A and B are shown apart, each in its own frame.
Chain A
């Protein structure tokens, strides 16, 4: 917490499974990452790869009967969140780790005013009087850039637009000054200009408070603009982990390369959109070997015995660049260390500049 070299949140080998009618769904199967102060870690991947489940597992928001936390540790504040009692978790949720969700249109309770909901969040975690709580709420709304915050407190969610609602959600999340903010696709439901504003707002708040942001998204443009460290997920595992410049400059995993290829580029000659052929395997029936092998352009149908044997683990093939594929140069001899980058890129006000 105080030491800048210690991660705020350290996840090691997290395994979250679901008991379904079709069998055990291995939604998250051994995920490790570390989030440092003043850093934005982006979890990227397509739908169904386990990004949201990872974030919900960190907050222990998944209901216990179908969910099984099968293993791993989540270190936060010298505690293992997987084994903390529920009362402690309720203090941590909102107070130390806050979360904002994807759909701002439905994230606010329609029968209460904005003020009611923010003040509730504040009074839950801080010992302040009602008057002070109202003032803190107003200040939080001002911080996120909502005009006339005093008036907004008496308004109902249906009177605000989507962008404003997301700002209110951010205000609610920040009112108690958490150390970690988990943003689960915060801008997917918003249009592009509002998206830019919201992300800029989050960056600004991160500058001033130094919190760590775990940004979950499937939009690589958002990742390029906002992330410091990127973890690419596929089929419940992290397949590549590097800082953002390194990832965009040298993507080593065929999946990452495919994702970068798929981004439509404006202004070029219009050709067919690129895709990654095949489908994500079902979480209840993962193949024994490499889970990406069936769609891998490098394998091209010639799946070798190495890929058939087991899914490759995340190895540090270059300093600060982990990848989980046999097709990376130097993979065989790479050490298997814990992915952790205390890296905070310098964001210039201008466009992205290469390191």
Chain B
């Protein structure tokens, strides 16, 4: 009597193909990868990210290890020291740990496969990864604040070379680019503005610091400002845009006026005013860029939500009794995010440009933190000579980064919209 649908019904729905199920994003990324330039752009950004994480091990004035002749209790002994590791900051460690977790997480995820029954394992893996990352961030910050009892090593590469020559040191292993970005080194006015040489592959800047090392260290500033500013914009824009799109009428009216107000704020001038009052502060710049940049995202999210609230699955989600916030953020939002992804990539490109412009004007990051914009500033003004090595390298980096972000944005936009109308 309780036959679950007779044979006729079962036979009619027997599976025909055995293809693995591909989610919305897998299909989109597959379409994205088809063009070679998209892959190149993605590789460039990945390279910059890896650079930002591993730069202390690539361009550092301290050697990995060195044996120094020290006088202990009257007798001379060779002590092996590890200056590079001793002077890693909390930020370096956090970035390393987070990247390691990201890589591990990616591989665990791939191994776990797509089976629905293993959903719990994936959920546990995600939760565990989050706990580990937060725990690592905390546990990395604390010890470095404590163990930094030794004073910062005043030696730079020149001093180490001298010690090696006089025999006070031996067995030194330096990084690829054996200059720091200037934090610990004394200013070497006698070496300013040198062109590229065997010592300094890209020459030196106005303070005698190695240009290539500063170029590599700037990637941190660029990536950091881009992502953090956009994250703030995203958080604000999605919430406001979502509410505007879902609760139309009054909320929409007020929301649009808010958007218009924030859009009319001149961001540059606001930053200059803040700098005039409070001095230069990279965090402040990121926050201001984030707080004034959410309007584009809000507009797109509002448009998507206006379309989505009439979709059948939204009605079905309400019909099974989901509370409002779950309908909004769990069902509607993932469907409405596709134009936002594109806006975000273009937004990061814009933030990179803004930060470079601010640093070029001298009101960006504080010295000695390097930035491509401030390096461009030192390239020369018309009155003096033009120092081409300080103009080409940072300029090229800015150009390539912004170009890469734009390519990614366009590639995603093309991959998401038309292709998915004809799934596979």
Contact = CB atoms under 8 A, between A and B. Distances in A.
Interface in A76-121: 89-95, 98-99, 101, 103, 106-113, 115, 120-121
Contact of B119 (A59, A65, A130): A130
Contacts of B22: 156
A310 B232 CA distance: 62
Nearest to B316: A107
A101 B116 CA distance: 26
Interface in A116-159: 120-121, 124-125, 130-131, 134, 142-148, 150-151, 153-156, 158-159
B311 A106 contact: yes
Contacts of A125: 320-321
Given A158-B423, A197-B9, A147 B14 contact: yes
A23 B322 CA distance: 32
A237 interface: no
Contacts of A92: 321
- Residue of B4, B115, B249 with highest tally of chain A CB at under 10 A: B4
Given A111-B24, A204-B3, A153 B14 contact: no
Contacts of A42: none
Instruction: Give the contact-size bracket for chain B.
Output: 35 or more
A164 interface: yes
Nearest to B423: A158
A167 interface: yes
Given A90-B321, A134-B119, A154-B115, A111 B334 contact: yes
A313 B15 CA distance: 53
A47 to B, nearest CB: 17
A148 B335 CA distance: 28
Contacts of B14: 147
B23 A153 contact: no
Contacts of A204: 2-5
A169 B9 contact: no
B315 interface: yes
Q: Which of B24, B116, B320 has the most CB of A within 10 A?
A: B320
B323 interface: yes
A184 to B, nearest CB: 10
- Central interface residue in A94, A115, A142, A169, by most chain B CB within 10 Å: A94
B28 to A, nearest CB: 11
B347 to A, nearest CB: 22
B113 to A, nearest CB: 9
Contact of B320 (A94, A112, A130, A207): A94
B395 to A, nearest CB: 41
A61 interface: yes
Nearest to B317: A109
Contacts of B13: 145-147, 161, 163-164, 167
B8 interface: yes
Nearest to A197: B9
Contacts of B323: 90
Interface in B1-58: 1-6, 8-10, 12-15, 21-24
Contact of B9 (A148, A159, A200): A200
B321 A124 contact: yes
A197 B335 contact: no
* Chain A, interface residues (CB within 8 Å), range: 35 or more
Contacts of A95: 321
B10 A147 contact: yes
B321 A110 contact: no
Contacts of A153: 116-117
Interface string B362-392: 0000000000000000000000000000000
Interface in A42-79: 59, 61, 65
Contact of B4 (A143, A148, A194): A143
B312 interface: yes
B318 interface: yes
B201 to A, nearest CB: 48
B9 A115 contact: no
A134 B319 contact: no
A159 B5 contact: no
Contacts of A151: 15
A90 B334 CA distance: 23
A208 interface: yes
A201 B9 contact: yes
A99 B5 contact: no
A108 B327 CA distance: 13
B158 interface: no
A99 B24 contact: no
B5 A200 contact: yes
A156 B6 CA distance: 25
Nearest to A207: B1
A172 interface: yes
Contacts of A146: 13
Given A103-B312, A115-B119, A156-B21, A145 B5 contact: yes
Contacts of B249: 65
A99 B313 CA distance: 12
Contacts of B318: 61, 93
Residue of B9, B120, B322 with most chain A CB atoms under a 10 A cut-off: B9
A201 B8 CA distance: 11
B82 to A, nearest CB: 47
A172 B312 CA distance: 15
A93 B24 contact: no
A65 B248 CA distance: 11
A134 B321 contact: no
A101 B6 contact: no
A99 to B, nearest CB: 4
B307 interface: no
A204 B6 CA distance: 9
- The 10 A-B pairs of least Cβ separation, nearest first, read A145-B5, A94-B320, A93-B321, A153-B116, A154-B116, A94-B321, A115-B116, A106-B312, A145-B9, A90-B321
7 contacts: A91-B321, A106-B312, A109-B335, A143-B5, A144-B4, A150-B117, A200-B5
Given A111-B23, A151-B15, 11 more contacts: A61-B315, A90-B322, A101-B312, A106-B312, A109-B313, A110-B24, A112-B334, A124-B321, A134-B116, A147-B15, A197-B5
Interface of B: 1-6, 8-10, 12-15, 21-24, 114-117, 119-120, 249, 311-313, 315-323, 331, 334-335, 423
